Structure 1
Amino acid sequence: MTTLYDEEFLTAIEGGLRGELPHWGLPAASKLRLLTISENATFTAENPADGSVTVLRVQRPGYHTTPEILAELAWIEALRADGVVETPRPIPRRDGTLLGAFQSGGQTRHVVAFTFMAGREPDAAGDLVPWFRRLGVVNASLHAHSRNWIRPDGFTRKTWDFETTVGASPHWGDWRDGLGLTADGRLLLSRTVDDLEARLAAYGKGPERFGLVHADLRLANLLAEGERLGVIDFDDCGLSWFMYDFAAAVSFLEDAPDLSRWQTAWIEGYRTAAPVTAEDEAMLPVFVMLRRILLTAWIASHSETPTAMSCGTAYTQGTLDLARAYLARRG
Structure 2
Amino acid sequence: MMDGSDIPLEELLGHLNGLANDALSLWDLPAGASARLINVSENATYLVEAPGGHRSVLRVHREGYHTRRAIECELAWIDALGAEGVVTTPGYFIGRDGSPIQEAKAPGLSVPRFMVLFQFVEGEAPDESGDIGDRFEQLGAIAARCHVHAMSWTKPEPFERLTWDVDAVFGANPTWGNWRDAPEVTPEVRAILEEVETTIRARLAAYGKAPDRYNLIHADMRLANLLVDETGTRLIDFDDCGHGWFMYDFAAAISFIEDDPRIPDFKSAWIRGYQSVRPLGDACLAEIDTFIMLRRMALLAWIGSHIEAPEPQALAAGFAATTARLGQEWMDRSP
Compute the TM-score of the two structures, normalised by the length of structure 1: 0.96
- Equivalent residue for 1:75? 77
Judge which range, 118-127 or 38-47, deviates more: 118-127
3-state SS of paired residue (1:283): helix
- Equivalent residue for 1:112? 116
For 1:28 and 1:304, the matched residues in 2 are separated by 35
Give the aligned residue type for 1:39. E
Taking only the aligned residue pairs, the percentage that are identical comes to 43
Q: Where do residues 44-63 of structure 1 align in structure 2 (5 Å cutoff)?
A: 44-48=47-51, 50-63=52-65
For 2:131 and 2:96, the matched residues in 1 are separated by 44
Q: Where do residues 314-325 of structure 1 align in structure 2 (5 Å cutoff)?
A: 314-325=318-329
**Which of the numbers 137, 141, 145 marks the counterpart of 2:141?**
137
- What is the CA deviation profile of residues 174-193 of structure 1, one whole-angstrom value per residue up to 9, with x for unaligned ones? 01112111112111100000
Give the aligned residue type for 1:135. L
For 2:71 and 2:46, the matched residues in 1 are separated by 17
Give the aligned residue type for 2:75. L
Query: Where do 5+ consecutive residues of structure 1 fail to align?
Result: none
- Equivalent residue for 1:247? 251
CA contact (8 A) 1:21 1:28 kept: no
**Which of the numbers 13, 25, 28 marks the counterpart of 2:28?**
25
Q: Where do residues 138-177 of structure 1 align in structure 2 (5 Å cutoff)?
A: 138-177=142-181
Aligned residue pairs, count? 330
- Equivalent residue for 2:332? 328
- Could you tell me how far 1:169 is from its partner in structure 2? 2.7
Matched, 1:208 2:230: no
Give the aligned residue type for 2:130. G
Q: Where do residues 261-300 of structure 1 align in structure 2 (5 Å cutoff)?
A: 261-300=265-304
- Could you tell me how far 1:304 is from its partner in structure 2? 2.2
- Could you tell me how far 1:317 is from its partner in structure 2? 1.7
Query: Where do 5+ consecutive residues of structure 2 fail to align?
Result: none
- What is the CA deviation profile of residues 51-82 of structure 1, one whole-angstrom value per residue up to 9, with x for unaligned ones? 11011000000111111111111111111111
- Could you tell me how far 1:219 is from its partner in structure 2? 2.1
Give the aligned residue type for 1:198. A
- What is the CA deviation profile of residues 289-313 of structure 1, one whole-angstrom value per residue up to 9, with x for unaligned ones? 1100100000110112232121013
Root mean square deviation of aligned Cα:
1.5
Matched, 1:310 2:301: no
**Which of the numbers 242, 253, 269 marks the counterpart of 1:238?**
242
- Equivalent residue for 2:9? 6
**Which of the numbers 14, 19, 27 marks the counterpart of 1:16?**
19
Compute the TM-score of the two structures, normalised by the length of structure 2: 0.95
TM-aligned CA distance change 1:301 to 1:272, over 3 Å: same
- Could you tell me how far 1:28 is from its partner in structure 2? 6.6
- Could you tell me how far 1:229 is from its partner in structure 2? 2.2
CA contact (8 A) 1:5 1:305 kept: no
TM-aligned CA distance change 1:226 to 1:75, over 3 Å: same
For 1:170 and 1:9, the matched residues in 2 are separated by 24
- Could you tell me how far 1:25 is from its partner in structure 2? 1.0
For 1:106 and 1:178, the matched residues in 2 are separated by 27
- Equivalent residue for 2:46? 43
Judge which range, 165-174 or 280-289, deviates more: 165-174
Give the aligned residue type for 2:195. R
